[in-house]
Amino acid sequence: MAPPVQPIVIWFGRVGDMILVSALLEILHRRYGGRCHLIGAGAWPAELYASHGDVARVTCLRRYTAFLFDGGWWRALAALRASRDDPVYVCEYDPRKLRRIERLLRASGTDPMRCLFITRTGCLQSAPHWIDRLVCFGRLTPPAFDAADVRGSAPACAPHLEVAAAAREDCAAWIAAQGLIGRPLVLVQPGNRRTMRGRDLRISGDDDKAWPIERWAALLHRVHAQLPQAAIVLCGAPREALLLTWIAEATQLSAVVAAELSLPRLLALCERAHTMISVDTGPAHAAAALSLPLVVMFGAHSQLEWLPRSPSGSAVVGVGGPPQSSRLDQIAVDTVFDAWRTLQGRVSPTTVPATAP
């Protein structure tokens, strides 16, 4: 028998994009028989797919480094030159990033007949939600290949992440160090990538995903009153530490923990937490992909396009977004709290408090 084909998927997206693409990776793995080679930009693709059944290899380019000085570029170039028999699926839609990808494919001598670009199909217009677009894309076949049927059971058609054993061990040690063993964990993600631009924290009036600190404090007080045994973990990247500190200081509750989290530790926390409340950002998609019930707050972006999906059907409740609102600061505390309370009866009975490592 011929060896299985290894699909190559290229997207220079951010964290949320690279989580959504897991729905496509599953479809391609089942169609072609080989686990995928994912080519992305930044550190997060390797962190997200360090342990994943649909991914054989991850190659990461630097986001802002010239090709000549980027080791990831040369590794991707060599891999494409060595993969003369594999289909290439390009999910990128940003024109500037697309030019970089097209240059990479030309330099590697990749046959255009082996390639599909999502922007050159009807998939972006076929459905409002990005996951449905990726599912549509995964069902198409480059001209150089015969159409392949899905092997085995039908794919979930939803993002799915897997947590590496090392991340679980690190998370368990962190929980023990924080004194949180035996307590349910409610995760709260208040920041987004606009908060992290440049070297400094920025909360701008132009940021439609910024919710006032006093509302975060009021919400956390109500969550604590509803679930007093829980630890409320404010989640954020290191550059969001100041925002987390401001919210914790405004809340003045010992149950609130401000946590600067690496992406692997965040994934492990999502796997074992009780619920999450998040703005519309990458960690919300991570939570849904790990079947953590959550509430997602939307600003100018539509829920029809970006509401996270769970592979297991765990609860994902969106609040805000057009046409109800165009900014987070138009969403009331009561609205978010009432949405979170609906999760209480929908938390899986297998969800357990954190235990000792």
pLDDT for the residue numbered 67: 81
Percent of the chain whose pLDDT exceeds 70: 91
**Sorting pLDDT into bands at 50, 70 and 90, what band is 195?**
low
Q: Where are the beta strands (DSSP E) in the chain?
A: 8-10, 36-41, 55-61, 88-90, 115-117, 185-189, 231-236, 256-260, 275-279, 294-298, 316-320
Look at domain 165-344 and name its CATH class.
alpha beta
Judged against a pLDDT cut of 60, whether residue 357 lies above it is answered with no
- Tell me which of 65-69, 134-138, 293-297 is least confident: 65-69
pLDDT for the residue numbered 237: 87
Does residue 292 contact residue 309 with C-beta atoms inside 8 Å? Answer: no
What H or E segment, with its residue span, contains residue 105? helix 95-108
232 to 215, 238, 338, 344: CA distances (angstroms): 15, 18, 17, 15
pLDDT for the residue numbered 63: 84
pLDDT for the residue numbered 348: 53
Entry pTM: 0.91
pLDDT for the residue numbered 2: 58
Q: Where are the beta strands (DSSP E) in 26-87?
A: 36-41, 55-61
pLDDT for the residue numbered 282: 95
pLDDT, tens digit (0-9, with 9 covering 90-100), for 26-83 = 999 999 999 999 999 999 999 999 999 999 999 999 988 888 889 999 999 999 999 9
Q: Higher-confidence residue: 352 or 239? A: 239
Classified by CATH at the fold level, domain 8-138 comes out as: Rossmann fold (3.40.50)
Q: What is the dihedral of CA 184, 309, 59, 85, to 10 degrees?
A: 140
Tell me if the bond preceding 322 is cis, omega within 30° of 0: no
pLDDT for the residue numbered 347: 65
Fold agreement (8-138, 165-344): yes
Report the DSSP beta bridge partners of residue 296. Answer: 278, 318
pLDDT, tens digit (0-9, with 9 covering 90-100), for 91-124 = 999 999 999 999 999 999 999 999 999 999 999 9
Across the range 274-294, mean pLDDT stands at 97
Q: Kindly list the domain boundaries of the chain, sorted by start residue.
A: 8-138, 165-344
**Sorting pLDDT into bands at 50, 70 and 90, what band is 355?**
very low
pLDDT for the residue numbered 354: 45
Judged against a pLDDT cut of 80, whether residue 162 lies above it is answered with yes
Q: Higher-confidence residue: 344 or 39? A: 39
R_g of the chain, CA atoms, integer Å = 21
CB atoms within 10 A of CB 64: 7
Percent of the chain whose pLDDT exceeds 90: 82
pLDDT for the residue numbered 196: 54
